[in-house]
Structure 1
């Protein structure tokens, strides 16, 4: 747990919360979708996601467009600024992790590689 907390804290823009980053990352991974679909992916209630979407739109990180088949809904998507932010955040975490890994011995890196293979196997179950 401490490791994941430290990794998450390697931040570029702390005005964007981890909840916001998670929503942006989901949109990057899955593409444009309705706020309700995003709420489902993020496992939060739609009203909570509405607040996140409004905040991100206010920061210039999301756009809204009419849903192509349902006039009652909208589709949200990332702006170029959001894509750049996600890239910068990933680069910051990668730089920190690279530095941390450099401090390990060859034996420790081998153990870590083996452990990650086992963790991937467990995650696939």
Structure 2
């Protein structure tokens, strides 16, 4: 019987096919990693993303956080307010512009994000052991490219 549907390998050879396969694979991995979050962590993925940004980049303004997370400043203000109420961040006025608020990670917030990352990284490290050396090398090469894609406009 002749198949009308092209094979997955044939589809992935096209840019559109590669885009579809990447979308599905990345979405499934994201869901799987989200399921591996620390059981005591009730923060949303958006809130965790803000904590992660503050850990990586240091203190940021609400506007910078909103731009980096691609949300509107009022939405980011609500997220930061919730994180502040939970003791994960603090706010202070900008040193030269009192109209601007700077957000800083607290020690508690740092512990939350590091514990969450440790758990998910451990799960992923175990999964990587099931891959061949060539597959792991391919992922090492792909990781910076995926990161660059995630930051594209």
TM-score range, shorter chain: 0.7 to 0.9
1:29 deviates by 1.4
What TM-score comes out, normalization by structure 1 length?
A: 0.85
Alpha-carbon distance change, 63 to 95 in structure 1, aligned in 2, over 3 angstroms:
same
Alpha-carbon distance change, 57 to 115 in structure 1, aligned in 2, over 3 angstroms:
closer
* Structure 2 match to 1:11: 37
Q: Does 2:79 match 1:52?
A: yes
* Greater gyration radius: 2
Q: How many residues align?
A: 122
Higher RCO (CA 8 Å, separation ≥ 6 residues): 1
Secondary structure (helix, strand or coil) at the match of 1:68 reads coil
CA distance in 1, matches of 2:67, 2:106: 21
Q: Which runs of 5+ in 1 are unaligned?
A: none
Superposition RMSD on alpha carbons, in Å? 2.0
Secondary structure (helix, strand or coil) at the match of 2:103 reads strand
What TM-score comes out, normalization by structure 2 length?
A: 0.71
